[in-house]
Amino acid sequence: MKSGRVVVAGCAGFLGSHLVDALLGRDCEVIGLDDLSTGRIENLAHLESNEKFSFMRSDITDGVSVDGTVDLVMNLASPASPVDYLRLPLETLAVGSQGSLALLELARTKAAAYFYSSTSEVYGDPLVHPQSEGYWGNVNPIGPRSVYDESKRFGEALTFAYQRTHGLDVKVVRIFNTYGPRMRSDDGRVVSNFIVQALRGEPITIYGDGSQTRSFCFVDDEINGFLAMVDHGAHGPINIGNDSEFTVSELAELVVRLTGSESPIVYEPLPADDPKQRRPDLTLARTVLNWEPKVMLEEGLSRTIAYFQALNGDIR
């Protein structure tokens, strides 16, 4: 879609706000919704006088009402960091179920396409590596992380039920660990934690022994992947991430080197059900969407470190 009227739920979040920028850059009109429970209005401050953007503070679990035509509904609304969704367990389940339902109904009544941001967490602690979209996952359905994992799995199920029942044009991506400017310093994710700790000279907290792996995608690549999905007729789900895999210890060493920090490394207990390994199989993204990540970890981290440094001690 090169232009049109787009509703973005979760528009004040880390990914949502970058997505809004990209859509406005394509000359779309954007109606942004956010309850600001984990997103920040500061992420949208630069758009205050942009006539193509309007913001509505609302919780999509209470229902959604948008005047006028809508071409595309993009659902990025959810706590997404483990620290956030463990703090907001019921809200996380509600936004994936009731919130998704409200946005799907909006898409249906407006005859709009529907984009759903799902997650690599649908694979749980995966027994298959790397993870391709055909893998059904290994999720503990009652563990602490289930509030997010099952919420997103339900969100996917609901999306495809709407497609089958109502013929809705749906597009589902599964996001793998993404990082970059506008991450909250207190959202608890490993990249922001390590950078903020390194810049403050505080101990760098590795959970477990640091041998668990993740594959980190820079935000600009992730957003370009979303747009490739929007432009394509594919319904997904399609993995969008970076398939270069690192241990958490390797990430800590890289952050220490790039910041020149003297922070010591300390080891803390591994959270329950923390996945041991994660790497996307990007075959579908490459072959169907003709998309792949371009920004490698060292460059992306340098850009993210520069963002946190520019906050000048006002790291929030």
Distance CA 20, CA 23 (A): 5
Scanning 88-96, 102-110, 186-194, 299-307 for contacts with ligand UDP by CB under 6 A, the matching segment is 186-194
Residue with smaller CB distance to ligand UDP, 63 or 208: 208
Distance CA 290, CA 228 (A): 8
Distance CA 92, CA 175 (A): 17
212 binds ligand UDP (CB under 6 A): yes
Residue with smaller CB distance to ligand UDP, 212 or 224: 212
Distance CA 179, CA 166 (A): 35
Residue with smaller CB distance to ligand UDP, 190 or 217: 190
207 binds ligand UDP (CB under 6 A): yes
What are residue 9's DSSP bridge partners? 33, 75
Q: Hey, what's the torsion of the CAs at 115, 173, 231, 74, to 10 degrees?
A: 20
To ligand UDP, the closest distance from the beta carbon of 119 in angstroms equals 8
Selecting among 148, 179, 207, 267, the annotated active-site residue is 148
Q: What is the 3-state secondary structure (H, E, C) of 69-134?
A: CCCEEEECCCCCCHHHHHHCHHHHHHHHHHHHHHHHHHHHHHCCEEEEEEEHHHHECCCCCCECCC
**Binding to ligand UDP, residues 41-100 (CB under 6 A):** 81-82
Amino acid at 285: A
Q: Is 146 exposed, middle or buried (0-12, 13-18, 19+ CB in 10 A)?
A: buried
To ligand UDP, the closest distance from the beta carbon of 127 in angstroms equals 17
304 binds ligand UDP (CB under 6 A): no
Q: How many residues bind ligand UDP (CB under 6 A)?
A: 16
**Binding to ligand UDP, residues 224-283 (CB under 6 A):** 248, 270-271, 274
118 binds ligand UDP (CB under 6 A): no
312: left (phi over 0), alpha (psi -120 to 50) or beta: left
Query: For this structure, is 148 an active site residue?
Result: yes
Residue with smaller CB distance to ligand UDP, 82 or 99: 82
Give the residues lining the site for ligand UDP (CB under 6 A): 81-82, 177, 188-190, 193, 205-207, 212, 214, 248, 270-271, 274
Active site residues: 148
